[in-house]
């Protein structure tokens, strides 16, 4: 299913308008003056932005209509709080607002239930953190937050951990316009590492560059565990020839790995 070409919440997304920068600036000015028609036009002109964002949350098992509606709430909040006086594009300001609204929705509707008291502690900690940042101009430590709340630091850490979103293995963590890097790419597996996989491919490709006799000697020596004397008897040449061919084959392979 391609999300930007279907009907979501009764909206045919393939027919959504796209606003130019000039149109958006003009509409924002009219919105600040109380023009409700401009507000509706601006919202509709930015629904594609909401669509692009909710695609990041496709694998959470939530209904697309629900995510779209929550994303629209984030869009409206961004419109209400956007400052025209700042030299910032609206989309730059709106994207974190929309993502934050969706994350809050997913957190509050998470199948892993967190007690109300624990959530309250975590939200209070977030508020205290913001106050300390504004007051001191730097990121506070957990101990500083806990001291301001008059709680043990362990309790604050536990509460904050409890409200963290579970992250999908397919969540992108970096994208530079090419292939994205996902969470699963950062997870180490000692039994099945990408390095081992790549080495195996490289060895197979290098083996293809050898002569049939060289392939046979290396296969018997390193895959079957045969000695040079056993290989010599098997293929009917001297042990010295086996040694020379083995060294030559390994030397050739190094050029291709």
130: Cα separation from own chain's centroid? 26
Q: How many Å apart are CA 113 and CA 105, to the nearest integer?
A: 13
89-146 pLDDT, tens digit per residue, is: 888 888 888 988 888 888 777 655 556 777 788 888 888 988 998 888 888 888 899 9
67-94 pLDDT, tens digit per residue, is: 889 999 999 999 988 888 877 888 888 8
Query: Domains, the chain, ranges and CATH?
Result: 1-110 (1.20.120.1810), 111-164 (1.10.10.10), 194-256 (1.10.10.10)
172-198 pLDDT, tens digit per residue, is: 655 555 555 655 555 555 554 445 555
Q: Which two tokens mark 204?
A: 């197979």
């Amino acid at each position: 299913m391609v999300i930007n070409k279907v009907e979501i919440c009764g909206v045919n997304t393939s027919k959504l308008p796209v606003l130019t920068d000039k149109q958006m600036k003009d509409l924002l000015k009219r919105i600040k003056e109380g023009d409700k028609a401009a507000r509706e036009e601006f919202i509709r002109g930015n629904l594609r932005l909401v669509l692009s964002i909710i695609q990041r949350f496709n694998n959470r098992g939530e209904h697309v209509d629900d995510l779209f509606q929550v994303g629209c709430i984030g869009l409206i909040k961004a419109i209400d709080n956007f400052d025209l006086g700042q030299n910032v594009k609206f989309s730059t300001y709106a994207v974190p607002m929309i993502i934050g609204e969706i994350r809050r929705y997913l957190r509050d509707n998470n199948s892993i239930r967190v007690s109300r008291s624990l959530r309250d502690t975590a939200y209070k900690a977030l508020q205290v953190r913001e106050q300390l940042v504004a007051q001191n101009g730097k990121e506070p430590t957990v101990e500083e937050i806990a001291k301001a709340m008059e709680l043990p630091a362990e309790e604050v850490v536990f509460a904050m951990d409890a409200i963290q979103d579970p992250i999908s293995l397919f969540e992108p963590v970096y994208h530079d316009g090419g292939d994205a890097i996902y969470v699963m790419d950062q997870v180490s597996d000692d039994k099945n590492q990408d390095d081992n996989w790549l080495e195996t491919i490289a060895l197979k490709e290098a083996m293809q560059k050898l002569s049939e006799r060289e392939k046979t000697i290396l296969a018997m020596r390193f895959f079957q565990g045969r000695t040079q004397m056993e290989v010599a008897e098997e293929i009917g040449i001297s042990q010295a020839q086996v040694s020379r061919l083995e060294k030559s084959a390994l030397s050739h392979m190094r050029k291709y790995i």
